[in-house]
């Protein structure tokens, strides 16, 4: 099969509403993808469009209400080089032992808009899976990209990043979100965020 560049799926999609934490699909493991067809690739287009307008650096299928194992990303690595792609049926590994380095920075999620909390994650992650045509791929990420690969793969296992926080930090995260949640319509970003001046 000829290699098709992922760029062909990064334009032309439609914006979808982003599913919020608390919705059952966000907290359940996803199903593996077995059909690499035009419908899947159209979904990838829509997810890229949704992520771009939100805006975000990664978006999992659960975040648009679908319990399938897929995420898209357009995210800088530790050298500020933007990397992009779509991964089906991902698996992520991180270093162990002396090679394992953690970095704690503020993390957020498009499905909990306005909420941020510090979370320590490994600074290197390797994600393996297949592309929207069913071809194997591997993405090695550093810096923010490493965090993104871990965050999105967590989503596909039914985990949100609050599940990795202490109770105290989690409560503050939810409080921060609640302060501005009214600015985000139920179908955001299909309907844009309201101005805080309104």
CB 85 within 8 A of CB 4: no
State the average pLDDT for the chain: 96
pLDDT of residue 196: 75
Q: Torsions phi, psi of 103, nearest 5?
A: -135, 130
User: pLDDT tens digits for 158-179?
Assistant: 999 999 999 999 999 999 999 9
pLDDT of residue 1: 53
The residue from 80, 152, 178, 179 that is catalytic is 152
135 is catalytic: no
User: pLDDT tens digits for 22-56?
Assistant: 999 999 999 999 999 999 999 999 999 999 999 99
User: Per-domain residue ranges for the chain?
Assistant: 6-183
Q: What is the mean pLDDT of residues 48-77?
A: 98
DSSP code at position 31: B
User: pLDDT tens digits for 112-157?
Assistant: 999 999 999 999 999 999 999 999 999 999 999 999 999 999 999 9
Degrees, nearest 5: CA angle 168-102-172: 15
Beta bridge pairs of residue 103: 121
CATH topology of domain 6-183: Peptide Deformylase (3.90.45)
């Amino acid at each position: 099969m000829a290699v098709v560049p992922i760029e062909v799926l990064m334009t032309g999609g439609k914006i979808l509403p982003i599913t919020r934490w608390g919705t059952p699909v966000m907290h359940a493991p996803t199903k593996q993808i077995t059909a690499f067809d035009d419908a899947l690739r159209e979904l990838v287009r829509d997810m890229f469009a949704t992520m771009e307008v939100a805006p975000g650096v990664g978006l999992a299928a659960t975040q648009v209400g679908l319990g399938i194992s897929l995420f898209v990303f357009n995210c800088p690595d530790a050298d500020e080089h933007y990397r992009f792609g779509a991964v089906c049926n991902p698996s992520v590994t991180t270093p162990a032992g002396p090679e394992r380095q953690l970095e704690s920075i503020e993390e957020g999620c498009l499905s909990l808009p306005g909420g941020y909390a510090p979370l320590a994650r490994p600074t290197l992650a390797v994600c393996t899976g297949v592309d929207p045509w069913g071809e194997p791929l591997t993405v090695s990420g550093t810096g923010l990209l490493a965090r993104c690969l871990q965050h999105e793969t967590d989503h596909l296992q039914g985990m949100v990043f609050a599940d990795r926080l202490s109770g105290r930090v989690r409560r503050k995260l939810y409080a921060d979100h609640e302060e501005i949640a009214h600015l985000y319509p139920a179908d955001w970003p299909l309907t844009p965020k309201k101005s805080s001046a309104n």
